[in-house]
Structure 1
């Protein structure tokens, strides 16, 4: 059985502020003049025709009166048009304020996010807010001349380990198709592979014969991938909340021979007791939480021991500061943190800068093979080698958009 350590310090940690970089940043920047936010534009590019158009990149670029700009990732809200509406609303709120006013912004948008999704974060309101917050940190790092990880306590991980999520780049959804794409990921140097082999199964399916058919097919795909990648590499499976409690327990049992690194989001997160029951019974680690917004949203999830590995998404959870707070909440409970992030290089960088400073960081998501021009979309090009994401040491997030590539694929 799994060996996990829990510590009962959740209540105090969940609600206590983290004393981190904002105060120091403000003090250092004081003599340089106030970095007043003045405007914003948006880089919007076509990336994926899969996932009902939910794979495109929406990247706001916040501008200051001093000429500095900051990037963020507002992708995958399920409604890009509405995300743009909220981005405009937020820039109107911020215009004339300092780029260091992260906590002010966090509190100002909290009621808006609560009214438009609550603790569920994959909404235009929450995704737009998360992206603007990322922009503010990018500007802060540039103003101070340091990478963003220095603003979150300094990095303790030189590199950020990533796994190849092959799901969106696998068009042939048969076991052979998944296996072939897994082979490409291995050839590219990845030592951890994730697939989501149950996506063709309708949510809420009740027909027992059909459920068994989809379960068998998904397990066969995972078996095919395991055969290709061998036992020395890690295999991760995402069930995308397709199953109920009893089928989830069955699924976890049937996956035991494959020795998964983790089994992700078997059931919907509500009721949380279902995930906790599966976590208690499973012999492999379980993971989840990609759709949750805010540290308060994660608190009952962590308290119930719903999973072993929490997966906040920097684009959904509230941004970089919120990601740090959520990771600290998990650390106090003896859990590890592995952010969800089939994102652009900008979104991945935002999460990776924070994770480089997090003691309980485990592994991070990388959307493998989605587009051939991914690394060239940013300057300097995004670098992944041997399943390690190399963080640029330039100020801020470390990237600018390659305008030629962005123009070529602009929506």
Structure 2
């Protein structure tokens, strides 16, 4: 494979993998404008984010079997076409209920891009190169929480919130064109692959019974729930309560993303000296303490804008250590069912995240307390799951030195 071909494939696969994160982060600065235009509240607008998470959770379980049965490209085409049409619908949405429903459909479409990009890395690149390719894809994805809300904030200010969905439509259309023209079919259709629910569910059930899987998958899901509570609640907290502009919010979100992304990079260095299970436990203890102090201080009115940003930065730093290691430990026991384990882990994360996001919307007190409370409780639950699960696991299956997990 030539260098130009190698670079083009990574660029296309990386952009496909980043489509979902861009769809989440880019419209966050538009929450107040959407609420005003659709005559609703910012809290209710955040339900459109919850519905997106539900769609991603369902889509992760849906596309895995379809990609094995029909090959990689046909399900990808269908998903991207669905994404493009749903983006147009979001652009034209006339009510909050319509936006919530269309975001669910958009998520189902974006999921095809995410799942297919991961599967095609395994198909197109040698095993010895997969860790390097996944690292490059993760780098592309990591740019989205820094770039997407900042770009989105300026677009909302200049052209209105609908312009964000016009950009997402353009991204989806370009990805569909790139997939048709330059992405090879990397896996032949397998007519013998059964799409009957029973064997698929049996496979998921076998995976879920593994003590190491359910301990670290649930730990990761709880920490991810804390992350999505922050993502859902941050527009209300920063723009509605602290009164920042869309542009200021975009830069704050980008700054806080540095904590999560930076600590996940430092994690690679820490892994030279400590095991993954040790890092997860320490991260959960630190996050629980930070979450408790954050909740107490928020309830008592200790924290202004600067202190709130500082506490969120520390909380997200803990996530950067916990999530990659929890994900790697979840999948480590599996060789044959690694794909099912990854899909089930991702679906569990998004399901818990959707519940956390929904909680932020429902318990709307026009304070930061609901967001911070859900973050603190999620950290404490993750620590409790660790405490119980480590006794059940006994000796955990170690993570391979070259293991690579693509974070969503």
Q: Confirm or deny a common fold (TM above 0.5).
A: no
TM range (shorter): under 0.3
Judging by fraction of residues, say which structure has more helix.
2
Judging by fraction of residues, say which structure has more strand.
1
If asked which structure has higher relative contact order (CA below 8 Å, sep 6+), I would say: 2
